[in-house]
Amino acid sequence: MKSKDELAKLGKKVLAIVRNELYMDMPYLSRPIGNLFDVMDLRTGSIGTDGANVRFNPSYVCETYLSRPGKLNRTYMHMLLHNLLLHGFVQYPNENRDWDLWNLACDITVESVVDSMDIEGLRAISSDFREECYKWFGDRIRTFTAERIYRDLIENPPDGDMIIKMQSEFLLDDHSFWERENKEPDKPPINDDIKEIPMVNLPLKEVWEKTAEAVRLEAEQTGSETGSDVGRLTWNLKLNRTGKSYRSFLERFMQRREVAGIDPDAFDLSYYTYGMEMYGDMPLIEEQEGREENRLQTLAIAIDTSASTKQKHVKRFLEETYSILEGKDMFFSGSKVFIIECDDRVQKVITLKNPSDIKKYADHFEVSGGYGTDFRPVFTYLKDKAASGEINELRAVLYFTDGYGIYPSKPGNYESIFVFLKDEDYDDHGVPDWAGKVYI
């Protein structure tokens, strides 16, 4: 009987072969492979990842490699994708989340990505049931992500037998280690097989966020140079980006102005008190009757109301905007937010002067228009209104859309930001270089 050390060495040797084969087929995986360290863990009967390590049962690894080596390669890729797509980095505990359905949604997502990749070492004959599952979700979801599939499982629940059959079809690894990811384990040591510098000073989730972006860029370049089909991989990595928050974008457009009120930072209480004590009712310093603050001045929010935009998505965007603006005093007395409803033309323009106006607008919003999308009329409208003096000091236009439309060729005299719902279907490929993108 082999000792524990011998079993660990044997398992690591097999996994080293798997890693090398994946690396030879997909060199852009060098960094995520290098993020993980192999650890024998007899608490599992198979294999799984906690984000820092690949934790394996040596019996499972060796037996699978001998009987079905392609399955082990696929399982390793399956685990890499879970980490790259941040599937394990959800908040524990979360009483509102059905963890069985979440795990299933994550497995379906990564398997759909692997199935889309024309890689010899990952190929497997797709079962009729698997194809039926993809079609079942695909009738409602254009691009698979774990969040979208999970929400669809909640809104359109299959029966219990169907769930069990799906779990059997798509499960490859042990997810029980995911809870450890949320407790920020020690940073992964470097894997000797891949010479990369680990990001030792970053939280584990941020390591994978940066790794995912690096893989996306390198995979896109590799695909364009070799003609490889990496579209679904790079698209999922793009959808999973966090980027700057919507709140940070809104705060960028605040202007510094003087407002009425006492400025405690510019008032020295000691001089005031000394004067009152020495001269009775004559302070040596008076309170300043104004103070400078950063607040929104003029902002335009364009809302794509074309046929491809759903009313519930617009309401989510407006509610998110309201929740940010009402949380702090962000409006001057003369602040204005112009809401522009548009599809292939400007349909309606509404002027809002305080956060409560945004809330009322969101509560009563209904999609109008419904034609195709052309972003250019909004920019023409803003240019004309600025020339006539009807809109002054415009800092930015936030254009909420799914991205399917015609973009302008030139920017206006303000920042242009296209806003997408991160967990919904959108196309951001056409956004011009001079415009920004934010995913909420």
How many whole angstroms separate alpha carbon 227 and alpha carbon 276? 81
Q: What are phi and psi of 111, to 5 degrees?
A: -70, -35
- Report the chain (440 residues): mean pLDDT per 10 consecutive residues: 85 96 92 95 96 96 94 96 91 69 96 89 88 92 85 90 96 88 44 40 82 87 63 74 65 55 51 57 52 62 80 80 66 72 90 80 72 89 90 85 89 87 77 83
Task: Let me know: does 386 contact 298? Beta carbons within 8 Å.
Answer: no
Superfamily of domain 246-257+296-439: von Willebrand factor, type A domain (3.40.50.410)
Region class of 145: left (phi > 0), else alpha (psi between -120 and 50), else beta:
beta
Task: Let me know: does 246 contact 384? Beta carbons within 8 Å.
Answer: no
Which of 50, 52, 66, 80 lies closest to 11, judged by CA? 66
Which of 293, 296, 288 lies closest to 259, judged by CA? 293
Region class of 3: left (phi > 0), else alpha (psi between -120 and 50), else beta:
beta
Locate the domains of the chain by residue range: 4-190+197-239, 246-257+296-439
User: How much is the pLDDT for 276?
Assistant: 57
How many whole angstroms separate alpha carbon 184 and alpha carbon 206? 11
How many whole angstroms separate alpha carbon 208 and alpha carbon 204? 7
Q: What are phi and psi of 282, to 5 degrees?
A: -120, 95
How many whole angstroms separate alpha carbon 237 and alpha carbon 217? 10
pTM above 0.75, yes or no: no
How many whole angstroms separate alpha carbon 221 and alpha carbon 65? 32
How many whole angstroms separate alpha carbon 115 and alpha carbon 14? 23
User: How much is the pLDDT for 358?
Assistant: 80
Q: How many CB atoms lie within 10 A of CB 57?
A: 21
Task: Let me know: does 178 contact 204? Beta carbons within 8 Å.
Answer: no
* HEC string for the chain: CCCHHHHHHHHHHHHHHHHHHHHHHCHHHHHHHHCCEEEECCCCCCEEECCCEEEECHHHHHHHHHHCHHHHHHHHHHHHHHHHCCCCCCCCCCCCCCHHHHHHHHHHHHHHHHHHCCCHHHCCCCCHHHHHHHHHHHCCCCCCCHHHHHHHHHHCCCCHHHHHHHHHHHCCCCHHHHHHHCCCCCCCCCCCCCCCCCCCCCCHHHHHHHHHHHHHHHHHHHHHHHCCCCHHHHHHHHHCCCCCCHHHHHHHCEEEEEEECCCHHHCCHHHHHHHHHHHCCCCCCCCCCEEEEEEEEEEEEEEECCCCCCHHHHHHHHHHHHHHHCCCCCEEEEEEEEEEEECCCEEEEEEECCHHHHHHHHHCCCCCCCCCCECHHHHHHHHHHHHHCCCCCCCEEEEECCCCCECCCCCCCCEEEEEECCCCCCCCCCCCCCCEEEEC
How many whole angstroms separate alpha carbon 41 and alpha carbon 47? 9
Q: Strands 290-304 and 53-56: what pairing? A: unpaired
Which of 93, 97, 15 lies closest to 53, judged by CA? 15
Which of 362, 80, 93, 100 lies closest to 194, judged by CA? 80
